[in-house]
Amino acid sequence: MAPRLTAITTCKGRLEHLKLTLPALMASPELEVVVVDYDCPDGVGDWVRATWPKAKVVAVSDRPVFNRSEAKNLGAAAASGDWFFFIDADIRVSETFAQGVQALLQPGDFLLADPRPGDLWGALVVSRTDFAALDGYDEAMAGYGSEDVDIISRLLIAGVREASFPSLNFGVIPHDAALRTRFHDLTDIELSASINGFYRTAKNDLLRQGVTIDLEGRRKLYAEVVRAFATPGGPKSFQLGFRQTFIPGLTVDAILRYDLKPTPKSK
């Protein structure tokens, strides 16, 4: 019988964290566990196979830059459960989580951690059906963070309801910020957050207008945003055409225009 819930965790250079967090996931017999070895320099896939043979390992090579979205999507593609639980390698999960969350899995809902501190923003429980309808995480996004905020926004736009699961007994393994960006081309976390935040805002505004973009189109849009942020002083405005309509005597171009102003820093 296929498991109802699959835990998916990804690893690139986080083997020491996974050694501390994987045991709790493996302690739940009702939970399938998928570990994604995303070209991990620590050989995490080999360690998982030798230490936890019941876990399912997905391994890819030739990925020097960490694409968190692709890694999570690879894990989902290998999962057998009707529901997916995405959890980072540096999060200790309560051993009773899998048993307690079963009653909370309701069609049309997705679940976020409650309480939800910053380190638990990536913790997400979502049905296979709703995840597939969105084509999963957006692999056009690069750099550290924001892929979790993006998929939540798209779930809400699609009409999936937000619910929660208790996370009081979860724990976070502390580490420095440099470890977060170790395998990214852009190591400036604030700049990466600005680029990804604006990209997902523009892309999801299009989605609200009924415009969907395939992966190639999203990559082009992301590249445009990156170029805009690379201009001296950063972007001042950004325009995005999304519809052209022809009426007698007129061609009407519908355009989203964004004016970008730096937020004053608090003293």
- Burial code (b: 16+ CB inside 10 Å, e: under 16) for 162-200 equals eeebebeebeebeeeeeebbebbebeebeebebbbebbb
pLDDT digits (tens, 9 = 90+) for 128-164: 999 999 999 999 999 887 899 999 999 999 999 999 9
pLDDT at res. 267: 57
Q: Is-contact 223 230, C-beta < 8 A?
A: no
- Mean pLDDT value across residues 91-109: 92
Kindly report the backbone phi and psi dihedral angles of residue 245, in degrees, each rounded to the nearest multiple of 5, phi listed first: -125, 140
Q: Does domain 5-180 have CATH number 3.20.20.10?
A: no
Share of the chain above pLDDT 90, in %: 79
One-letter identity of residue 144:
Y
The domains of the chain are located at: 5-180, 189-259
pLDDT digits (tens, 9 = 90+) for 154-212: 999 999 999 999 998 899 998 777 777 888 888 888 899 999 999 999 999 999 999 99
Rounded to 5°, angle at Cα 67 from 152 and 146:
30
Rounded to 5°, angle at Cα 50 from 48 and 55:
45
Residue in 31, 193, 44, 20 with CA at minimum distance from that of residue 96: 31
Q: Residue 266: is its pLDDT beyond 70? A: no
